[in-house]
A = this chain, B = another copy of it.
C-alpha cells in the first residue's frame, strides 16, 4: 500500500477510536467543545485569514473565476458567522439518546429503540471553507467523528481551521481525532477513503453532480447522495395565477445558485393563454433566459427551443425550461422522468389536485402553493443541515443532526429465555 493510502487509513483508524469515545458523551460535554471551537475560531482569526489569503492568491493565479474565488474567500465577518453557526449547533437538542419507539413486550422485556451516533462520517466537498466548520460541528453534535476532504484549492484554509478545531476539542476534553482532514490532495487519497468500508460508516459528497456521481460509482462505503436539484413548479388549471406568478419568480430568481431553486416550469394547457404571457414577461424582466417548448415559443418567439437536455438540466443560473402540459398526470410524468427527486411545487386551489400531486410525485419534498426554496434544514426548523438528501435510503430531504444518527434496540429483561 502506498504512503498516502496508508496515511488515509491510519487517519480513519484514529477517527474510529475517537468515535468510540464520543458515542457515550453527554450533551453537556459535546456542547462545551462546540462553544470552545467557536471561541477558538474567533481567537485564531489572523492565522486562518492568512492561510486563506494564500489559497485565494493561488486560485487567482490559476485563473479561477470570480464566483469561485468569492466562495473560497474568508473575511472577519465570515469567521464571525462561522463561529455563530457552531454556537447555534450547540444550542440544538442532542439527537443521541432519543427514544424513537419503545414498549413492554408481552413477555415483560422492556424494549426501546434509541438514537446512537453513526460513528465515522466522511464529507467530500468543494470550495467553501465554511463547510469545514459546519460539518465538523454537526457531526460532533451528533456524536460522530468526522473525516473532512475539502478541495485542493482550499487546502491551507482547511488545514488552519481544522488545526484550530482539533486543539479546541482537545482543550475541552474530547479526542482531537474527532475532527480530521483526510491527508493528500490527489485523487488517490479520495479513492482510498471510498474503500474504507468498516472504518468509515457513511460518505456524504457535497458538491456538483459530477462529484456525486463519481463517489456513488466508486465507493464501497455507503453514500448519501445530496444536493442535485432539478426542481419543478407546476401551475395547475385551478391555480391562483397571481400566486403562481409570485412563486415562480421567487423559486427561480430569489437565489439561482442553490439546489432548491426551480429549473423547470410546467403550465397546464387550460391556463397557458392566461398565464404564459404574464410569467414569460416577468421572467424576462428579471433577466431569465427562457427555454420553451413549441407552445411556449408561440407566446414568446424570443425563447430558445427546449431540448431534452433542458428538461434534464440543473441550470443553477438565470435560465428556465418552460413546458405546457395537458394534465396534472402529464406534469407528474415529466417530473418522474426528468427530475432529480429534490423538490417540486404545485400551485392550485384544488384540494384534489394537491392530493394527487403529493401522492404521485416521487421527490424528497413537495410544496403546495409555496416556493421550492423552502426545502432547507434551517427553514424546516432543524437549526442547521449537512446537506439535502435526494436518495430514499436512510435520510430524504434536509439532513440535520438526527439524520447523522443510527439506532440501537435495547431490551431489558430479567432472565428472559426464548421458548
Interface, chain A (partner B; CB < 8 A) = 20, 23-24, 103, 105, 109, 111, 113, 116, 118-119, 197, 201-202, 216-217, 220, 222-224, 240, 242-243, 246-247, 250, 254, 336, 354, 356, 358-371, 373-375, 379-381, 391-394, 396-398, 406-419
A contact patch SS: mixed
Distance, CA A253 to CA B407, complexed state (A): 28
Point out the residues of chain B lying under 8 angstroms from A240, CB to CB. 415
- The reply to whether B24 and A366 form a contact with Cβ atoms under 8 Å apart is no
Point out the residues of chain B lying under 8 angstroms from A417, CB to CB. 246-247, 250, 254, 370-371, 373
Point out the residues of chain B lying under 8 angstroms from A116, CB to CB. 362
Those 10 A-B pairs whose CB atoms lie nearest each other, nearest first: A370-B413, A392-B406, A373-B418, A370-B416, A243-B415, A24-B359, A250-B417, A394-B394, A365-B409, A393-B394
Point out the residues of chain B lying under 8 angstroms from A362, CB to CB. 20, 23, 116, 119, 408
Distance, CA A240 to CA B416, complexed state (A): 13
Contact of A369 among B201, B220, B361, B412 (CB under 8 A): B412
- The reply to whether A374 and B103 form a contact with Cβ atoms under 8 Å apart is no
Point out the residues of chain B lying under 8 angstroms from A398, CB to CB. 409
Q: A201-B392, A369-B416, A408-B366 are in contact. Are A109 and B20 (CB under 8 A)?
A: no
Chain B residue at minimal CB-CB distance from A356 = B24
Q: How far is the CB of A130 from chain B (nearest CB, A)?
A: 20
Point out the residues of chain B lying under 8 angstroms from A359, CB to CB. 23-24
- The reply to whether A413 and B369 form a contact with Cβ atoms under 8 Å apart is yes
Distance, CA A379 to CA B250, complexed state (A): 51
Distance, CA A409 to CA B380, complexed state (A): 10
Chain B residue at minimal CB-CB distance from A368 = B412
- The reply to whether A118 and B220 form a contact with Cβ atoms under 8 Å apart is no
Q: A109-B374, A222-B391 are in contact. Are A408 and B360 (CB under 8 A)?
A: no
Distance, CA A109 to CA B345, complexed state (A): 13
Q: A359-B23, A417-B254 are in contact. Are A105 and B379 (CB under 8 A)?
A: yes
